[in-house]
A = this chain, B = another copy of it.
Amino acid sequence: MTTQEVAAKLAEMCSVGKFEEAVEALYSPDIVSVEAGAPPGQSREAKGIAAVRAKGEWWVTNHEVHASTVEGPLVAGAYFAVTFKLDVTFKPEKRRFQMEEVGVYKVVDGKIVYEEFFYSM
């Protein structure tokens, strides 16, 4: 798949909440995933598909999604950007919040090899 095709597929799957399915379908085994920040002592980077699956499972287990919007993609060469707007409850604290973030992705040989998220902490 081209960058444009991977980008369109990711946006389509995430817009219907298929985050984990998107990882299985579109991500390289060697994916590097970078968050805007991390808790003290933890890394912003998750390396490899197992670490990214674990991060996704933690997220799905701990959040209830009330609404989500995906905008984009904007595609440029091997990279593309989308935005996510989420209205969620963090279940362990029963705390509802809205978050908005930019995601930037790199595609090599039809698979996502890098993703980085930009949001205010």
Out of B72, B76, B85, B118, which one reaches A119, CB within 8 Å? B76
Main secondary structure of the interface of A (DSSP, over half): strand
A: interface residue count bin: 20 to 34
With most chain B CB atoms within 10 A of its CB, the pick from A74, A78, A81 is A81
Q: Note all chain B residues with C-beta closer than 8 A to A72.
A: 74, 81
Out of B75, B76, B78, B85, which one reaches A76, CB within 8 Å? B85
The 8 closest A-B CB pairs, nearest first, are A77-B100, A81-B81, A76-B100, A76-B83, A79-B118, A79-B102, A74-B83, A76-B102
Q: Using a CB–CB distance below 8 Å, which chain A residues touch chain B?
A: 71-72, 74-85, 99-102, 104, 106, 118-120
